[in-house]
Amino acid sequence: MRADARRNYDHLVATARAVFAEEGPQASLNEVARRAKVGPGTLYRHFPTRQALLVAVFRERIERLCALAEQSGSAPAGEALTGWLRALLVHAQTDGGLAAGMADDPGFDCHARLIGAATGLLDRAGQAGAVRDGVEVEDLFQLVTGIAMTAPKDRGERLLMLALEGVLADGPRRPGPSRA
């Protein structure tokens, strides 16, 4: 990769981060190019799709989340899982586009990495008996991203807790979500 290309690439990512933060994930890519003082062609050559740009922008944060999952080996399994899911929620809320991205394209690199991180935590929690039987990683992701997309920011955490602890109150738990 040529030096000027690298420069443009980095500058575009930084600019896009700012623009997405201001205007949300559906912000105009033209605007990104304009602010980065770069032609549209340059932007689209580096990032053929909006997704590609989104991923580049959030990659760092995603990796931090993965690292967080690995570090939380000391905490009790259940708390480690819920704590991480809360971090994931905050992330998905901040970078609304990522939630959409994860939902849109299941065969995604960043999606796979997050799934991997979550799998470890869920397995551990499962072995500790802290999680209802039959819960899958995808369940957790879809709940978190769904909450991030529709709920106002200040209600996200409340909703996550509700989903984790359950809405219904019918005493002893049934074996699992058997209707699925």
Binding interface with a copy of itself (CB under 8 A): 78, 82, 99, 103, 129-133, 135, 138-140, 142-143, 145-151, 155, 157-159, 161-170, 173-174, 177, 179-180
- What whole-number distance in Å separates Cα of residue 76 and Cα of residue 79? 6
Of these, 40, 129, 166, 176, which contacts DNA (CB under 7 A)?
40
Give residue 162's region: left, alpha or beta (phi > 0; psi -120 to 50). Answer: alpha
Q: Does 22 bind DNA (CB under 7 A)?
A: no
Q: Is 48 in the site for DNA (CB under 7 A)?
A: yes
How many CB atoms within 10 Å of residue 1? 6
Binding to DNA, residues 61-100 (CB under 7 A): none
| DSSP secondary structure code for residue 130 in this structure | -
Where on the phi/psi map is residue 43: left (φ > 0), alpha (ψ -120 to 50), or beta? alpha
| Binds 107: which of DNA, a copy of itself, none (CB < 5-8 Å by kind) | none
- Which residue, 115 or 149, is less far from a copy of itself as judged by CB? 149
- Select the binding partner of residue 165 from DNA, a copy of itself, none (C-beta < 5 to 8 A, by kind): a copy of itself
19 versus 148: smaller Cβ distance to a copy of itself: 148
* Tokens (6 digits) for 82: 């819920």
Conformation bin of residue 2: beta by default, left when phi > 0, alpha when psi is -120 to 50: beta
Sites of contact with DNA (CB under 7 A): 1-5, 7-9, 28-31, 37-42, 44-46, 48-50
